[in-house]
Homo-oligomer: A and B are copies of this chain.
Amino acid sequence: MTTRIWTAALAVIGDEILSGRTQDKNVAQIAAWLNVQGIRLAEVRIVPDTTEAIVEAVNALRARNDYLFTTGGIGPTHDDITVDAIAAALGVAVEFHPQAVAVLERYYETRGGLSEARKRMARVPAGASLIENRMSGAPGIKIGNVFIMAGVPHITAGMLDALTGTLEGGLPVLSRTIGCWVGESEVADLLRSAEKAHPGVAIGSYPFFRDGRTGANFVVRATEAELLDTCIVDLTTALTAAGRDVVAGGI
């Protein structure tokens, strides 16, 4: 049985990531969330806060993936140009979303009122709907297959939570990990053989150096649980036969 694979791309919008000032957390967070929805994160681009770069990335990525997520650039300040750039990419106008205005009016009622700057956060590409923001006022935005999310990770987390279970996906990719205190080069042939012997699984080898010792974790991924389990058993047997102590769950 061949199952359709659903893919998503992510465009991280922000000079602060490209300057090295801010450590991105959204790639890992969105990747893990997508996986639970049965959607694979296929590619990521990190682009600066310029219309040209955002338009290019959005149009390339939305065309060849089922979903495109963006993070960053939806706040109230002059460097927040994501909504305008995505509207330009889609060839639509920017308009105030009445429901977003109402949300912001309510949110800022006890916080000094809805100023012009704050009202900017109710601007959306024409035809968009909203993604609930459970953490702060300004909502996320959905238009077509594009999901426009916040840059601040805990706000993005709340938006992902609001989207959980609403996106069509396929089978989640399952994974199991085993580890050995071994240089990965010593078991390279064995890993290659194990992957070849189990079509449908992918084995990743991730070396590390810890407490003065060399080790590696081997991550086996598949969409079928039985296939995954068989491969883990066979790989464990092969490593043990080669004289290696295998740590279930990884090191």
Interface residues of A (CB under 8 A from B): 12, 15-25, 27-35, 40-49, 53, 75-79, 111-112, 115-118, 120-121, 136, 152, 154, 173, 175, 183-186, 188-189, 191-192, 195, 202-209, 219, 221
Residues of B within 8 A of A32 (CB): 19-20
A153 to B: closest C-beta gap in Å: 11
| CB-based contact A31/B19 at 8 Å | yes
| CB-based contact A29/B20 at 8 Å | yes
Residue of B nearest to A188 (CB): B117
| CB-based contact A205/B77 at 8 Å | yes
Residue of B nearest to A138 (CB): B185
| CB-based contact A186/B45 at 8 Å | no
| CB-based contact A117/B24 at 8 Å | no
Residue of B nearest to A183 (CB): B111
A205 to B: closest C-beta gap in Å: 4
Q: In this complex, which of A35, A42, A43, A79 has the most chain B Cβ atoms within 10 angstroms of its Cβ?
A: A79
| CB-based contact B175/A19 at 8 Å | yes
CA–CA, A118 and B186, complex, Å: 8
A-B contacts besides A20-B31, A77-B205, A152-B208, 8 pairs, CB < 8 Å: A15-B204, A15-B221, A19-B175, A20-B30, A43-B45, A44-B44, A115-B186, A118-B185
Knowing A41-B18, A43-B47, the reply to whether A117 touches B77 (Cβ < 8 A) is: no
Q: In this complex, which of A15, A42, A188, A221 has the most chain B Cβ atoms within 10 angstroms of its Cβ?
A: A188
Partner of A117, one of B44, B111, B185: B185
| CB-based contact B191/A77 at 8 Å | yes
Partner of A18, one of B25, B44, B112: B44
